[in-house]
Structure 1
Amino acid sequence: MTDTASISTAKKRPRVPLWDNARFICVTLVVVGHGIQRLTYDDDHALVLYLFIYAFHMPAFAIISGYFSKSGSPTRRQMTKVITDILVPYLIMESIWTLVQFLVEGKQEINPSKPSWTLWFLLALGIFRLVLPYLALLRWPLAWAVLLSIGVGYLSNVDSTFSLSRAIGILPFFVLGYKIHEWGVIEKWRMAGPVIWWARAAAVAVFGVWLTVVWVFIDHWRAIDLKFWFFYDSSYNDLGEYQWTAGLMRLGVILLAVVLCAAFFVLVPRSRTWMTTLGQATMYIYLLHSFVLYPLRQTPILRDNPTTPWLIGMVLLSVAISILLASKPVRRIFRPIVEPRPRWLFASSEPSAGGPSRVDPTGSRRD
Structure 2
Amino acid sequence: MTTDAAPPAPTAPAEPLEAGRAKRRIPMWDTSRFIAVTLVVVGHAIQRQTAGSEHALALYTFIYAFHMPAFGVISGYFSSADTPTAKRMRRTFTDIVVPYIVMQTIWTVVQAIVEGGKEFNPTKPTWTLWFLLALGIFRLILPYLAQLRWPLAWAVVLSIGVGYFDNVDSTLSLSRAISLLPFFLLGWQVKQWGVFDRWYEAPRRVVVRVRVAAAVVFALWAAACVLFTPQFEEFDLHHWFFYDDSYSGLGEDTWWAGGVRFGLMVFAAALTAAFLLLVPRRTVWLTKFGAATMYVYLLHTFVLYPIRESGVLAGEHSAWPYVLVMVLLACGVSLFLAQPFVRRGMRWLLEPDVSWLFRRDPAEQAPRR
Query: 1:342 aligned to 2:354?
Result: yes
Query: 1:110 aligned to 2:120?
Result: yes
Q: Which residue in 2 is equivalent to 1:238?
A: 249
Distance across 2 between alignment mates of 1:79 and 1:187: 28
- TM-superposed CA distance for 1:107, in Å, is 2.7
- TM-superposed CA distance for 1:110, in Å, is 1.7
- TM-superposed CA distance for 1:105, in Å, is 0.9
Q: Which residue in 1 is equivalent to 2:6?
A: none
Query: 1:190 aligned to 2:200?
Result: yes
Query: 1:22 aligned to 2:32?
Result: yes
Aligned AA (2:232): W
Q: Which residue in 1 is equivalent to 2:132?
A: 122
Q: Which residue in 2 is equivalent to 1:156?
A: 166
Aligned AA (2:328): L
Which among 301, 311, 315 is matched to residue 327 of structure 2? 315
Q: Which residue in 1 is equivalent to 2:212?
A: 201
Distance across 2 between alignment mates of 1:318 and 1:250: 29
TM-score of the aligned structures, taking structure 2 as reference length: 0.91
In structure 2, list runs of 5 or more residues that go unmatched: 1-11, 14-19
Q: Which residue in 2 is equivalent to 1:63?
A: 73
Distance across 2 between alignment mates of 1:243 and 1:191: 46
Q: Is the 8 A contact 1:85 1:340 kept in 2?
A: no
Which among 79, 91, 100 is matched to residue 110 of structure 2? 100
210-219 or 324-333: which moved more?
Answer: 210-219
The number of aligned residues is 346
Aligned AA (1:276): T
Distance across 2 between alignment mates of 1:91 and 1:19: 28
**1:33-80 deviations in Å (ceiling 9; x for gaps):** 000000111100000000000000000011000000000100000000
**Paired residues for 1:64-79 under 5 Å:** 64-79=74-89
User: Residues 336, 351 of structure 1: CA spacing in aligned structure 2 closer, same or farther, 3 A cutoff?
Assistant: farther
Q: Which residue in 1 is equivalent to 2:273?
A: 262
**Paired residues for 1:276-355 under 5 Å:** 276-304=287-315, 305-348=317-360
Q: Which residue in 1 is equivalent to 2:54?
A: 44
Q: Is the 8 A contact 1:40 1:50 kept in 2?
A: yes
- Misfit runs of 4+, over 6 Å: 10-13, 349-353
Distance across 2 between alignment mates of 1:235 and 1:12: 39
User: Residues 12, 297 of structure 1: CA spacing in aligned structure 2 closer, same or farther, 3 A cutoff?
Assistant: closer
In structure 1, list runs of 5 or more residues that go unmatched: 1-5, 354-367
User: Residues 247, 283 of structure 1: CA spacing in aligned structure 2 closer, same or farther, 3 A cutoff?
Assistant: same
Query: 1:87 aligned to 2:113?
Result: no
User: Residues 134, 28 of structure 1: CA spacing in aligned structure 2 closer, same or farther, 3 A cutoff?
Assistant: same
Which among 179, 187, 200 is matched to residue 189 of structure 2? 179
Distance across 2 between alignment mates of 1:346 and 1:139: 35
**1:87-139 deviations in Å (ceiling 9; x for gaps):** 01000000000000011111332211000000000000000001100100000
Which among 214, 217, 226 is matched to residue 215 of structure 1? 226
TM-score of the aligned structures, taking structure 1 as reference length: 0.91
Q: Is the 8 A contact 1:76 1:352 kept in 2?
A: no
Q: Is the 8 A contact 1:80 1:352 kept in 2?
A: no
CA RMSD, 1 decimal:
1.9
